[in-house]
A and B are shown apart, each in its own frame.
Chain A
């Protein structure tokens, strides 16, 4: 068990560019979650998957955001036409099933210039 991994750990981009982050959950975990954490705040729920199905999306997830988990294993989060307000830490978590502990990855820190 190597834990949840996220890549890249840091991403600096210019406003208007597209970025994609990857999350590899703990092996055999069915549920995968994305959260966003801005400086000095607690994480905010964005979306989650049960295997490859995206079951819930927060209103925070604007049309510029899209998440996939094509084979029920790793997931990607893409932000199109980035804005400075997108600068944050993007956290991924996974759990075995719905009421099991969510294990968080180290996050990807996005800076939009």
Chain B
């Protein structure tokens, strides 16, 4: 069965610092991979997704993620964090036909220090 692990439950970074959120997945086939962000009182918003092709994926709000098959990882990065990035971030793997049933990790809560 597929699974997604986000090892860091909480991360605190200073505004302007770089960010990397870790995501490891377990899935027997070629994965479809996603990063979503959830702000308080708001729905989940897609940051980026990987289906195939270039393993470095660019997303919205200055985020990027790199798919590393050998490490079963899909880490999210941002070179300079803004206070508005404080939120909960979820990594997900899409399974089933066309990868449309999402299995989410437990999430990483990001706090940004001024």
Contacts and interface: CB of A to CB of B under 8 A. Distances in A.
A2 interface: no
A104 interface: yes
Interface residues of B, number: 25
Contacts, number: 58
A41 B106 contact: yes
Interface stretch (B12-20, B39-47, B64-72, B75-83): B39-47
Interface of B: 4, 32, 36, 41-46, 49, 51, 90, 92, 96-107
23 contacts: A33-B100, A33-B101, A35-B102, A41-B107, A42-B90, A42-B92, A43-B90, A43-B104, A44-B104, A48-B101, A56-B101, A91-B43, A93-B44, A95-B100, A98-B97, A98-B98, A99-B32, A101-B49, A102-B46, A102-B102, A103-B46, A104-B43, A104-B44
A106 B101 contact: no
A99 B46 contact: no
Identify which of B92, B98, B100, B102 gathers the most chain A CB atoms within 10 Å of its CB.
Answer: B100
A13 to B, nearest CB: 22
Contacts of A43: 44, 90, 102, 104
Interface of A: 3-4, 31, 33, 35, 40-45, 48, 56, 91, 93, 95, 98-99, 101-107
Nearest to A43: B104
Contact of A98 (B4, B100, B107): B100
A1 to B, nearest CB: 14
B11 to A, nearest CB: 15
Identify which of A48, A93, A99 gathers the most chain B CB atoms within 10 Å of its CB.
Answer: A99
A52 B42 CA distance: 27
Nearest to B90: A42
